[in-house]
């Protein structure tokens, strides 16, 4: 298994100065929720323009189809299993991203970067795990999901405390008006960018939307033809446009890599309050393509080709080592899983993905799927489906039903909807992917087979 950090043999990028990094992460935005990915019923003109000015990735994966685990992978370049972070952390849990894990902010800071985090954190609520303790100079946002509040449609009374909005480590407000979150985050983002002229910066803007409960400001509410979900995505589109306009106004476009993506697929049981996974099967909380394949746009004029579409698989774990090379930053001391994929981003002829496979864990560390080349192996496990999702009403979800998944093999290039199991017809492919799964178990463990991986570390635990 080609885990571990290494620099690719390719010649290094040599920008005149390290690029600014703007990483925009949406919450539960589906693959099919942008105009440039085929969205219907609402428009995303700013993001569609960003796609034309940059590269659109159509096989971009998150490491786990749920908030905390996905974000841990994004920021550290590690599979969540390696970090001991599983699923979504609750507000009262004592667990968080271990202080010794190095985040993107941690590795960029020694290169002179100003670092800011705005929005949803969700890597541990106790103070030792908050953004200021993971390399960020400033923080403004919700420490976890916006539905972890007393108004949750299903949770028993007393499950969730009043929702805090944090400034640094401090609670600035309780139960902030969620209609204003996207605007307030955007204002902060624009202000941060404008303040950093002359100094490289890393902005991690993690929107709370379009995770339920959905909220849009008055300017966007009722504007789309497809209800509140379309309104909310419209506001996220506006937000991204404002950030790109700010970079343009300040003459920073050619010095700034902007990445726009999502933490997992749509939460389908919420019906018309959920997005679309496009042509893919299922959504959030599953290892099917609809759960783990997300939209991803990258724009860096002069460095990343404009108007290009890349279908080669990539995963969020690759962002840290790739950005590290751009910035001349040192990779984390602790072993990571991501690899430098700059040649794929830069559009070098013949560039390929350096990983033999990507692995998908879920449910407290169960290895449930492997993608290698055009093939995807599903390992036997219990998943979930929501056949009545369409009947969810006004933010009240329909029920999930357990769904038994067997040993299944799909060619996701030919069959992106994972409809035609070829396990019986392709014994050699099946054997190869089962071997890769075994490699992953040795290194990262597997709760399904009660294996503890030799490369697994502990999550942080607050006293
Ligand atoms: Mg999410």
Structure tokens at 31: 């693959």
Give the count of beta carbons closer than 10 Å to the beta carbon of residue 60: 25
The 10s digit of each residue's pLDDT in 52-82 is: 999 999 999 999 999 999 999 999 999 999 9
Instruction: Tell me the average pLDDT of the chain.
Output: 95
The 10s digit of each residue's pLDDT in 150-176 is: 999 999 999 999 999 999 999 999 999
Q: Rounded to whole angstroms, what are the CA distances from 313 to 59, 200, 273, 340?
A: 5, 29, 28, 13
pLDDT at 15: 57
Q: Is the dihedral of CA 164, 165, 167, 171 positive or negative?
A: negative
- The answer to whether 433 touches 377, Cβ cutoff 8 Å, is yes
- The answer to whether 123 touches 75, Cβ cutoff 8 Å, is yes
Dump strand ranges (E) for 216-321: 256-262, 293-299, 308-310, 314-315
- The answer to whether 264 touches 275, Cβ cutoff 8 Å, is no
Give me the residue label for tokens 């492919």. 429
Q: Is 122 a catalytic residue?
A: yes
Structure tokens at 290: 């609809």
C-alpha to C-alpha distance for 122 and 70, rounded to whole angstroms: 10
Q: Rounded to whole angstroms, what are the CA distances from 366 to 147, 205, 285, 313, 451?
A: 26, 30, 13, 22, 10
Delimit the domains of the chain by residue range: 18-346, 358-461
- The answer to whether 293 touches 334, Cβ cutoff 8 Å, is no
Question: Is the previous residue joined to 398 through a cis bond, with omega within 30 degrees of 0?
Answer: no
pLDDT at 17: 81
178 alpha carbon – ligand 1 mean position (Å): 17
Which of 90, 101, 105 shows the shortest CA–CA distance to 21?
105
Q: Is 67 a catalytic residue?
A: yes
Catalytic residue among 67, 134, 296, 381: 67
The 10s digit of each residue's pLDDT in 413-456 is: 999 999 999 999 999 999 999 999 999 999 999 999 999 999 99
236 alpha carbon – ligand 1 mean position (Å): 15
Show Cβ contacts of residue 281 under 8 Å, excluding neighbours closer than 6 positions: 288, 289, 290, 417, 418, 419
Give the count of beta carbons closer than 10 Å to the beta carbon of residue 354: 17
Give the chain's residues under pLDDT 50: 1-12
pLDDT at 16: 63
85 alpha carbon – ligand 1 mean position (Å): 15
DSSP string across 47-100: HHHHHHHSEEEEEEE-SSSSHHHHHHHHHHSS-HHHHT--S---TT--EES-TT
Show Cβ contacts of residue 165 under 8 Å, excluding neighbours closer than 6 positions: 140, 141, 142, 171, 172, 173, 174, 176
17 alpha carbon – ligand 1 mean position (Å): 34
Show Cβ contacts of residue 440 under 8 Å, excluding neighbours closer than 6 positions: 1, 357, 359, 367, 370, 446, 453
- Name the CA radius of gyration of the chain, rounded: 20
264 alpha carbon – ligand 1 mean position (Å): 5
197 alpha carbon – ligand 1 mean position (Å): 32
pLDDT at 195: 96
CATH value of 18-346 in 3.40.50.1970, 3.30.40.10, 3.40.720.10, 3.30.565.10: 3.40.720.10
Q: In the CATH hierarchy, which top-level class contains the domain 358-461?
A: alpha beta
16 alpha carbon – ligand 1 mean position (Å): 36
pLDDT at 6: 40
28 alpha carbon – ligand 1 mean position (Å): 4
184 alpha carbon – ligand 1 mean position (Å): 20
pLDDT at 391: 76
Catalytic residue among 86, 98, 122, 134: 122
């Amino acid at each position: 298994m080609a885990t571990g950090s290494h620099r690719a043999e390719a010649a290094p990028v040599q920008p005149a100065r390290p690029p600014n990094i703007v990483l925009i992460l949406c919450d539960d935005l589906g693959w099919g929720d942008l105009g440039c990915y085929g969205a219907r019923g609402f428009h995303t003109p700013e993001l569609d323009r960003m796609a034309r000015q940059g590269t659109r990735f159509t096989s971009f994966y998150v490491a786990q189809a749920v908030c905390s685990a996905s974000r841990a992978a994004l920021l550290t370049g590690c599979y969540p299993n390696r970090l001991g972070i599983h699923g979504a952390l609750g507000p009262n849990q004592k667990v968080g991203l271990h202080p010794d894990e190095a985040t993107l902010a941690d590795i960029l800071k020694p290169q002179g970067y100003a670092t800011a985090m705005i929005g949803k954190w969700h890597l541990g609520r106790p103070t030792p795990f908050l953004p200021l303790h993971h390399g960020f100079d400033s923080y403004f946002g919700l420490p976890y999901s916006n539905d972890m509040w007393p108004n949750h449609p299903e949770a028993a009374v007393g499950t969730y405390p009043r929702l805090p909005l944090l400034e640094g480590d401090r609670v600035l407000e309780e139960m902030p008006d969620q209609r204003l979150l996207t605007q307030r985050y955007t204002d902060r983002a624009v202000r941060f960018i404008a303040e950093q002229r002359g100094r490289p910066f890393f902005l991690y803007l993690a929107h709370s939307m379009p995770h339920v409960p959905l909220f849009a400001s008055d300017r966007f509410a009722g504007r789309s033809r497809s209800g509140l979900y379309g309104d909310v995505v419209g506001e996220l589109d506006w937000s991204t446009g404002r950030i790109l306009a700010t970079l343009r106004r300040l003459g920073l476009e050619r010095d700034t890599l902007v990445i726009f993506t999502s933490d997992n697929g749509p939460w389908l049981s919420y019906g018309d309050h959920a997005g679309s996974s496009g042509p893919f099967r299922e959504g959030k909380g599953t290892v099917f393509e609809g759960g783990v394949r997300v939209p991803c746009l990258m724009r860096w004029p002069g460095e990343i080709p404009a108007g290009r579409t890349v279908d080669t698989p990539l995963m969020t774990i690759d962002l840290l080592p790739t950005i590290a090379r751009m910035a001349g930053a040192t990779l984390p001391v602790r072993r990571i899983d991501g690899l430098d994929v700059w040649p794929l981003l830069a559009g070098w002829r013949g560039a390929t993905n350096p990983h033999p496979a990507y692995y998908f864990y879920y449910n407290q560390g169960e290895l449930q799927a492997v993608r290698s080349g055009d093939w995807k192996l599903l390992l036997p496990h219990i998943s979930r489906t929501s056949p009545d999702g369409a009947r969810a009403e006004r933010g009240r979800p329909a029920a999930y039903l357990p769904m038994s998944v067997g040993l299944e093999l799909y060619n996701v290039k030919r069959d992106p909807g994972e409809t035609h199991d070829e396990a019986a017809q392709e014994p050699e492919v099946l054997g190869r992917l089962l071997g890769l799964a075994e490699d992953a178990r040795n290194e990262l463990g597997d709760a399904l087979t009660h294996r503890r991986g030799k490369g697994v570390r502990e999550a942080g635990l607050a006293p």
